[in-house]
A and B are shown apart, each in its own frame.
Chain A
């Protein structure tokens, strides 16, 4: 269970930080950078989640005998 609890906070932190950077950059008038940063943050989190989903599907397969 303690397996991935940290990741929850990681994602939340990334989200908050990305939002902050986005706001700051927007204030500075560099909307371009702001969007790129948001996209980058989203990609990182998505990668984490994709890994986890793969893990999940593998687990379900093992548990429910999807041997074929």
Chain B
């Protein structure tokens, strides 16, 4: 029952943050970040399992490896960007948070560029000159 552990750590951290915020807001922020990271690392193993299963299926079905890697990279970018943005937003820096999100979106689009290029080239080739 890992969910209980996660919820427990979350609640405890919340109380501690509440207590410390009175004295030292900086430490409260650090504690919140730390808790977030711990929870995420705990979940990373589960996500990895899911992804391994998907990868296995993909190799069995001979899905192009490029596709799969692109997809995974996109998800990874989304996760990291999201994490950074939330931490910054917690610290009260909304503008930096939105910049981080912007960077995440842009990088995802960059990942898609090769695919878009291939599709457009093919369409142009199919169309009579």
Contact = CB atoms under 8 A, between A and B. Distances in A.
* A–B direct touch in complex (beta carbons closer than 8 A): yes
Interface string A17-36: 01110110000000000000
Contacts of B41: 3-4, 52, 55-56, 59
Contacts, number: 112
A42 interface: yes
Interface residue SS majority, chain B: helix
Interface residues of B, number: 36
Contacts of A14: 27
A12 B69 contact: no
Nearest to A23: B23
Interface size class of A (residues with CB under 8 A): 35 or more
A11 B41 CA distance: 18
B24 A38 contact: yes
Interface of B: 2, 5-6, 9, 12-13, 16, 19-20, 23-24, 26-28, 30-31, 33-35, 37-38, 40-42, 44, 47-48, 51, 69, 72-73, 75-76, 79-80, 83
